[in-house]
């Protein structure tokens, strides 16, 4: 083999080796870029999922907020029980398809009295923080004991009802006035007090001291 042919073959091998090295380097670069792009896309999707989850949680919390109950003439019922444990029962019906909250006790003004009936559990300025949730189409009760001559007093013509709010000085929407004459009800209340709201009539009667 001549020296010229040997040099020509060596140059060809060198060129081939250089081409292979460049190809491998380009392949590695493309692979790294692909992995980086895939990782970035994955992180972006993860952020979207996390963000969507937080938004869904916020919407769920908002939907779980329970509104205050509102008084109205068709939601309130008054009835008088006679005998040694005589009392007037106040019944509230949540006629909506959603739960609502009641605080402390109903504020009752019989015959347009300036001041509401006193509370048997606390006073308007010093509340005990009672709060109950009335389920959709459910009921709540308060009781006025009338088992003595003084507490029974005289027959009332009407009552104006406000629902207390979360603070001592606040009330929810109202008032609602119930006309006993129109409803043909005979309700007698004197110097008595009204209990806090209870989820059961039995619980309200016990709080009033007229339960069995």
Q: If we measure between CA atoms, which residue out of 90, 188, 79, 67 comes closest to residue 139?
A: 90
When mean pLDDT is compared across 11-25, 31-45, 137-151, the lowest value belongs to 11-25
3-class SS string, the chain: CCHHHHHHHHHHHHHHHHHHHHHHHHHHHHHHHHHHHHHHHHHHHHHHHHHHHHHHHHHHHHHCCCCECCCCCCCEEEEEECCCCCEEEEEEECCCCCCEEEECCEEEEECCCCCCCCECCCECCECCCCEEEECCCCEEEEEEECCCHHHHCEEECEEEEEEECCCCCCECCCCEEEECCCCCCCEEECCCCECCCECCHHHHHHHHCCCC
Residue 4, pLDDT score: 47
Spatial distance between the Cα atoms of 22 and 29, rounded to a whole number of angstroms: 11
pTM for the whole thing?
A: 0.68
The more confidently predicted of residues 52 and 150 is 150
Check: CB of residue 116 under 8 Å from CB of residue 162: yes
When mean pLDDT is compared across 45-59, 138-152, 175-189, the lowest value belongs to 45-59
Banded pLDDT at 122 (limits 50, 70, 90):
low
Percent of the chain with pLDDT over 90: 50
Q: If we measure between CA atoms, which residue out of 164, 176, 143 comes closest to residue 73?
A: 176
Check: CB of residue 109 under 8 Å from CB of residue 177: no
């Amino acid at each position: 083999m001549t020296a010229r042919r040997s040099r020509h073959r060596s140059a060809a091998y060198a060129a081939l080796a250089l081409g292979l090295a460049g190809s491998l380097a380009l392949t590695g670069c493309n692979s790294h870029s692909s992995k980086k792009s895939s990782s970035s896309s994955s992180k972006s999707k993860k952020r979207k999922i996390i963000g969507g989850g937080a938004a869904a949680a916020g919407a769920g919390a908002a939907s779980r907020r329970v509104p205050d109950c509102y008084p109205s003439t068709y939601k309130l019922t008054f009835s008088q029980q006679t005998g040694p444990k005589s009392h007037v029962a106040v019944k509230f019906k949540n006629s909506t398809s959603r739960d609502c909250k009641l605080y402390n006790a109903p504020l009752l003004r019989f015959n347009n009295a300036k001041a509401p009936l006193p509370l048997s559990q606390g006073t308007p300025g010093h509340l005990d923080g009672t709060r109950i949730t009335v389920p959709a189409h459910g009921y709540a009760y308060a009781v006025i004991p009338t088992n003595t001559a003084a507490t029974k007093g005289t027959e009332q013509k009407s009552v104006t009802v406000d629902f207390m709010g979360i603070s001592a000085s606040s009330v929810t929407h109202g008032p609602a006035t119930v006309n006993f004459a129109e409803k043909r009800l005979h309700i007698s209340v004197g110097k008595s007090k009204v209990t806090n709201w209870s989820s059961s009539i039995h619980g309200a009667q016990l709080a009033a001291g007229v339960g069995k």
